[in-house]
Chain A
Amino acid sequence: MAMHFIFSDEVVLLFDFWSVHSPAGMALSVLVILLLAVLYEGIKVGKARLLHQALMSLSISTSQQLIEETDQNSSSSDPTPVSRTHLRWFLCHFGQSLLHVAQVVIGYFVMLAVMSYNTWIFFGVVLGSGVGYYLAYPLLSMT
């Protein structure tokens, strides 16, 4: 394995079937890696937004429950809203965990792509991270 950056049109990336021989194939591979890096940045922001949305909706629903419960003091206590909130929180958290697994896997894939020591691929990763950050992070504060 060459331990320095090289400019080359031939590389094998991650999987056996992903072997590149030609400039056109290299351009396509760089594009795919770029989109992968953009997706990685997007997932990072998406996780934070999902958590924020979940907390907001859950705090709203719990305060509504408190209002309802104080209104109906003597009426029968309804346990279903509490369990519905717990179920919603569980599903939300499960979704976030899946998103986390996707983030870990994509992060490692991008690291392995850089490890191929192909300079074009590295440019694709750097550019993709930049573009992804540029597009995604404004969405983080747009709450």
Chain B
Amino acid sequence: MGHFHHMGMSMGMSSGDDNSTMAPSHHHPTSSASHSHDHMMMMMPMTFYFGFKNVELLFSGLVINTAGEMAGAFVAVFLLAMFYEGLKIAREGLLRKSQVSIRYNSMPVPGPNGTILMETHKTVGQQMLSFPHLLQTVLHIIQVVISYFLMLIFMTYNGYLCIAVAAGAGMGYFLFSWKKAVVVDITEHCH
């Protein structure tokens, strides 16, 4: 708990080192609903800021203190966001490839003139204990964890890290969805 207090105090000292255009009093909340918890309000920033001093990232040992470390964190977060987009598209592709079991159900339904028409239902599914489904489940768990990590990174309200998340997502979507769109064009032409 003392660490968070230290972070709140050191944020006041780091605001002078930023080369941002934000007002230096950003770490003092001007309006707070509960004035009795003032020191707790400094634990987590609630507005966007640009800085690289004493930035805690996800885990307790991961603290950014220098510009070099922030650059490394930027690259790592960028790659993580790119990987997340690629994972999403890889899962879609795997799902499409593994959906080979197609069941046709035909049932008679009454037609307009009293004739009997056959209505055919096509269901596409997977077996539960098959390898593709287990692989999808493992990839789903990884995707959920990474999506929560990206959310927590964005929640640090650090401007550099948030830009890394957004740029990584855009670049990942651009690179991976390009190939997917071409594949979709070919395979989903004739339905």
Contact = CB atoms under 8 A, between A and B. Distances in A.
A72 to B, nearest CB: 25
Contact of A14 (B30, B32, B47): B47
Given A10-B33, A16-B22, A94-B174, A104 B166 contact: yes
Interface in B43-70: 43-44, 46-48
B158 to A, nearest CB: 12
A101 B33 contact: no
Contact of A97 (B22, B33, B41, B170): B170
B156 to A, nearest CB: 11
A105 B177 contact: no
B11 interface: no
Contacts of A111: 151, 154
Interface string A42-80: 000000000100110011000000000000000000000
B154 A112 contact: yes
B95 to A, nearest CB: 18
A12 B46 contact: yes
Nearest to B151: A111
Interface string A1-35: 11000101011101110111100000000000000
A54 B185 CA distance: 10
Assign chain B's interface to a size class: 35 or more
A100 B169 contact: yes
A51 B89 CA distance: 15
A88 interface: no
A112 B155 contact: yes
A80 B40 CA distance: 64
Contact of B30 (A12, A98, A115): A12
Task: Enumerate the 3 nearest inter-chain pairs by beta-carbon distance, A residue then B residue, closest first.
Answer: A101-B170, A97-B174, A10-B31
Interface of A: 1-2, 6, 8, 10-12, 14-16, 18-21, 51, 54-55, 58-59, 93-94, 96-98, 100-101, 104-105, 108, 111-112, 115-116
22 contacts: A1-B44, A1-B46, A2-B37, A8-B33, A15-B48, A16-B48, A19-B31, A21-B31, A93-B177, A93-B178, A97-B177, A100-B169, A100-B173, A104-B166, A105-B166, A108-B151, A108-B154, A108-B165, A108-B166, A112-B155, A112-B157, A116-B46
